[in-house]
Amino acid sequence: MKIRLCNINDKENWIRLNRAFMAYELSDEGFWNNADTISDEQFGIVFEEALNNPELITMMMIEQDNETVGFANLMTIFSVWAHGKALVLDDLFLLECCRGKGLGREALKYIENYAEDNGYKRLQFQSEFSNPDAYAFYTKLGYKSEDMHFFVRYFN
């Protein structure tokens, strides 16, 4: 397995994998800004904008046997609770055929090492209640969860 930072040549794979993730995850119509309905062209614009803002987002590709099988989208925030930079795991996705083989564990360990090596004080993320597999995965790896509400409002 190989994990690496995204580059411009990853656009099509990143879009393909994000669409697969949305098909797997989306259950609350409209809550996630109908992201699953945007065109590939618009998705490509978002990808390029993200690449041009590395201080805000880090995108990683997960490969196995020279095939891209997953991705991670990570956001940087400053947290007074963590006393410095925190890394937010916004998305971590592996194709179904690659789950249960230790790739997710390896990917998360890579992300933890990346966070430590780059001066982050905390790694944090949320998982929807409608995704019990994610809950089982993260708790198995020793992560603690907190019951919280997640609020969102979109602006045009």
pLDDT digit string (tens) for 18-34? 888 887 776 555 544 45
Tell me if residue 131 falls in helix, strand or coil.
coil
Judged against a pLDDT cut of 60, whether residue 47 lies above it is answered with: yes
Judged against a pLDDT cut of 60, whether residue 139 lies above it is answered with: yes
Q: Taking all residues of the chain, what is their mean pLDDT, rounded to a whole number?
A: 89
Please tell me which residue, 109 or 24, carries the higher pLDDT value: 109
Please tell me which residue, 129 or 96, carries the higher pLDDT value: 96
**What pLDDT does residue 31 have?**
46
* C-alpha to C-alpha distances, 124 to 66, 130, 131, 140, nearest whole angstrom: 29, 19, 17, 16
**What pLDDT does residue 146 have?**
86
First CA to last CA across the chain, in angstroms? 39
**What pLDDT does residue 26 have?**
61
d(CA 22, CA 111): 21
Tell me if residue 1 falls in helix, strand or coil.
coil
**What pLDDT does residue 33 have?**
47
Please tell me which residue, 78 or 126, carries the higher pLDDT value: 78
**What pLDDT does residue 35 have?**
60
Burial grade of 18 (CB within 10 A; 0-12, 13-18, 19 or more): buried
User: Can you tell me the mean pLDDT for 60-89?
Assistant: 95
